[in-house]
Amino acid sequence: MKKLTIFLIVAVVFLAYVYHTKNDSNSENGGSSKIESSLVQSIGSGAFSYQSKKFATKKLQKLTIANEQCKERNLDFSSQIQNIHQVLIQALEFELKQGKSERDLLAYSNQYKTFYDGYDDLLLQAKVNIEKEKYNYTSSVDILSDWNGLSVINGFSSLNIPIIVQELKAFGGRSNGLSLKLELESDINKSDIYDLLENSENFNTYLESPLGISGSPVISPSILFVLTATQLDIDEFEQAVSLQTFTVNDVAIAIINNMPIEYLKLLVTQTKSIEDMPLIVQGRYDSYESLADIAASTHNVELLKLLDRHGIQATNEPGIITAMDIAIMNLPSKANAYQNVESFPSKYLDTLNYLNLNGYKAHGMAYQNNNEAVVSFAAPNRRNLQITNVLDPKLRDYLYQIELIDGSYNIHQLPPDNSLVSNAIETMEMRKVALNDKSKSCESIREELLTEEGFADHRETYDLINEIKNNEEYIAERLHEIDPVLVNLWRDSNAINRVSLEIDSNFISLIREGNYQQALDYSASKPLTTQETDTLLISLVQNIEDIAPIWNARVSPKPPSGLFAFRYLDAEKWELLKNEGFDFSIKDKFGNGIFLPSVLNSTTAVEFLLDNGLKPEIERLGLDALDLLLEETYEKGRLNPNLGQVLNEIKSFEPNHYSRVARIKKFFPSEYEKLIKINKNLELVDEVKINRFRLSALY
């Protein structure tokens, strides 16, 4: 079966969804049950503006607004940290532009108390910012619509690129840590490669987005070209590169993806400013001043020699880092790399020998351990390598011969003074204190609001869940007895935290490519996996007429992970589903019906389901449709319009319903009076405790 990296449109839509729910939810839950629980997570966490909410008291209003402001501040916490870091980064940029060396600026590093990023990280960022001014970067995903040749990427076509662009815009230019690693097509046409060269105006424009490919965090026509160009023979490649100019970033990606040296020779000749610092391969522990440093990291002696002929030498900064350090810390350290010593690659020893002959030394420390000489290699603030981890005898013996850099090269640290960098560090410290004070203030506000509302805090909630999970049988039943919301939280906490977008599925490929007849034949003959079922369901609500026959033809159908796809269906699509023979009695893997995702939709959706014989179910474990409506009533401070229709279908009520009614009575007595006029059976005769647990976000 063909291996697909992604069913791209679905994957991008899903990432956009996760991006928003990650910002809205109060815990780092993941997995398929998150789809279903997002119905209730959205209550009070972005589904409506808190400014329009009714409040029982002025105090509750004041605390809620203050807490919402804290949540907004927390969502932007990384930006605030970045702004504080920026104080020092800008000072370092200025000094670098004034001619200060890295060695000069590292003399201030002890004055800086690490605040998420280390001093070395911020210095690297300053260097990157200066270099970045030389290149064309964009965060506008609209450029994808302008680029030719994108069909070399698995999942991209002229038909779906507009949809991909639209969905990527949901990120608003920020991925918030989410990324989508693309892969190249397994069978690439040369014509598509040549199409990449037609992007003359923006051939070297780099798109910063959640999309990355083959070790590159950005994409561009030039990067895609160097990744695919070995599909051309060497003569075709020589002719092709003669038509374009490349940057060190393109060459860097070619190197880490093992482009053959004969191709690299031609690529280097077409690269402008070949001596510049490559930007897009910089990492937390792997920063490179030049392409020669990358050659050292990949143990490519031929490339080191080629670059030397172009006047580019690898870094040699005792007290900071050398190419020997880079080569050593990129040696294999896992035992399985040395399983076949006889065929162990010679490139590692060759690289060390080349650097040694050219005068390179390494940072490290030699010591005795049980009468055995041991060397620990480690450049400042870099990855290290213990010589005992190198299991090839020849390589290990050679490592003992490498000269170590002595402490005389250590950078002398300066005391605080009136310099720009010292003042920037002092300013950072003051801003850090202010940010921490705000965080403490927000914690106090959250605690006071929880007390005012009578809700348990996050820790108490999960301590209770874990206690029951670890000590009792029938976990879901016990949690439901306390409060059905705990069942939903427990399911979320058990869900897989990482969603794989790498799919081995010929069926999904057929859907993606619009081969609906073949997909129909597949669905009618083979049971679909849960992942295929989920993908088909998302496709169904987007394209009912083409996908409904495939959905209806499933054999031994598996229940989908969730029914979130029905959350926002309009009246026209409900009718279209009915006309296509869709079975509205569908259940998800937890046994929840279609009423659950639809009850917070429009009254038209609820009327449609009732008219077609669907009823709200209250016997399932976890929150039911009435729970959701009562939760939303409290969060908004007014009755949901669907309450009347749903209450007419429920003959008896559970304790959890009454506990939520008690909350409405306490905080919104006028709404409570309206509620019991709709259904007298919800009137509270005896004292009932209000519910203490909820899904909406306070954190």
pLDDT digits (tens, 9 = 90+) for 554-570: 999 999 988 877 877 88
Domain containing residue 114: 76-136+419-439
* Whole-number pLDDT of residue 434: 73
Look up residue 296 and give its amino acid. A
* Whole-number pLDDT of residue 339: 83
Instruction: Summarize the confidence of residues 292-307 as an average pLDDT.
Output: 97
* Whole-number pLDDT of residue 24: 40
Q: How far apart are CA 313 and CA 300, in angstroms?
A: 13
**pLDDT-based confidence at residue 242 (cuts at 50, 70, 90):** very high
* Whole-number pLDDT of residue 504: 53
Output the CA–CA distances (angstroms, integers) from residue 497 to 27, 452, 661, in the order listed.
Answer: 11, 33, 34
In 10 A of CB 348, how many CB atoms?
Answer: 22
Instruction: Summarize the confidence of residues 427-454 as an average pLDDT.
Output: 82
pLDDT above 80 (res 103): yes
**Residue 697 included in any domain:** no
**Residue 89 included in any domain:** yes
* Whole-number pLDDT of residue 39: 31
Give the three-state DSSP class for 93. Answer: helix
pLDDT above 70 (res 157): yes
Q: In this structure, what token pair is assigned to residue 554?
A: 């499933």
Look up residue 530 and give its amino acid. T
* Whole-number pLDDT of residue 284: 66
Encode 318-366 in three state secondary structure.
CCCEEHHHHHHHCCCCCHHHHCCHHHCCCHHHHHHHHHHHCCCCECEEE
Strands 372-378, 384-386: pairing is antiparallel
* Averaged pLDDT score across all residues of the chain: 85
* Choice between 359 and 513, residue whose per-residue pLDDT is larger: 359
Predicted TM-score (pTM) of the model is 0.63
* Whole-number pLDDT of residue 177: 55
**pLDDT-based confidence at residue 240 (cuts at 50, 70, 90):** very high
Q: How far apart are CA 664 and CA 653, in angstroms?
A: 16
**Residue 223 included in any domain:** no
Q: Give me the half-sphere count of Cα atoms (radius 13 Å) on the Cβ side of residue 573.
A: 15
Q: How far apart are CA 667 and CA 303, in angstroms?
A: 73
Q: What angle, rounded to 10 degrees, do the helices at 248-256 and 261-269 form?
A: 180
What is the per-residue burial (b if ≥16 Cβ within 10 Å, else e) of 431-449?
A: beeebeeeeeebeebbeeb
Instruction: Summarize the confidence of residues 50-65 as an average pLDDT.
Output: 76
| DSSP state letter for 404 | B
pLDDT (tens digit, 9 = 90+) per residue, 245-278? Answer: 999 999 999 999 999 999 999 999 999 999 999 9
pLDDT (tens digit, 9 = 90+) per residue, 4-42? Answer: 333 454 455 444 444 444 444 333 333 333 323 333 333
pLDDT above 60 (res 371): yes
Proportion of the chain above pLDDT 90, given as a percent: 54
**Residue 132 included in any domain:** yes
The CA dihedral of 257, 263, 265, 266, to the nearest 10 degrees, is: -120
Q: Which of 21-35, 173-187, 534-548 has the highest mean pLDDT?
A: 534-548
Instruction: Summarize the confidence of residues 508-521 as an average pLDDT.
Output: 87
* Whole-number pLDDT of residue 170: 65
Q: Lowest mean pLDDT: which of 118-122, 381-385, 579-583, 690-694?
A: 381-385
**Residue 84 included in any domain:** yes
* Whole-number pLDDT of residue 1: 30
Domain total of the chain: 1
Closest CA to 88 of 432, 421, 431, 429: 421
pLDDT above 90 (res 111): yes
Encode 296-307 in three state secondary structure.
HHCCCHHHHHHH
**Residue 118 included in any domain:** yes
**563, 596 Cβ separation under 8 angstroms:** yes
Check residue 176 and give left, alpha or beta (phi > 0: left; psi -120 to 50: alpha).
left
**Residue 239 included in any domain:** no
In 10 A of CB 275, how many CB atoms?
Answer: 15
* Choice between 489 and 25, residue whose per-residue pLDDT is larger: 489
**Residue 523 included in any domain:** no
Per the listing, tokens 């482009």 go with: 259
Closest CA to 627 of 643, 614, 613: 643
pLDDT above 60 (res 635): yes
Give the three-state DSSP class for 416. Answer: coil
Helix H or strand E segment including 317: strand 316-317
Check residue 591 and give left, alpha or beta (phi > 0: left; psi -120 to 50: alpha).
left
**296, 304 Cβ separation under 8 angstroms:** yes
Q: Give me the half-sphere count of Cα atoms (radius 13 Å) on the Cβ side of residue 249.
A: 24
Q: How far apart are CA 578 and CA 475, in angstroms?
A: 38
Q: How far apart are CA 695 and CA 36, in angstroms?
A: 12
Instruction: Summarize the confidence of residues 222-240 as an average pLDDT.
Output: 96
Q: In this structure, what token pair is assigned to residue 65?
A: 């607004």
Encode 353-392 in three state secondary structure.
HHHHHCCCCECEEEEEECCEEEEEEECCCCCEEEHHHCCC
Output the CA–CA distances (angstroms, integers) from residue 284 to 120, 123, 246, 380, 383, in the order listed.
Answer: 9, 12, 26, 13, 10
* Whole-number pLDDT of residue 52: 61
Output the CA–CA distances (angstroms, integers) from residue 417 to 57, 86, 123, 413, 423, in the order listed.
Answer: 53, 20, 19, 12, 8
Instruction: Summarize the confidence of residues 417-437 as an average pLDDT.
Output: 87
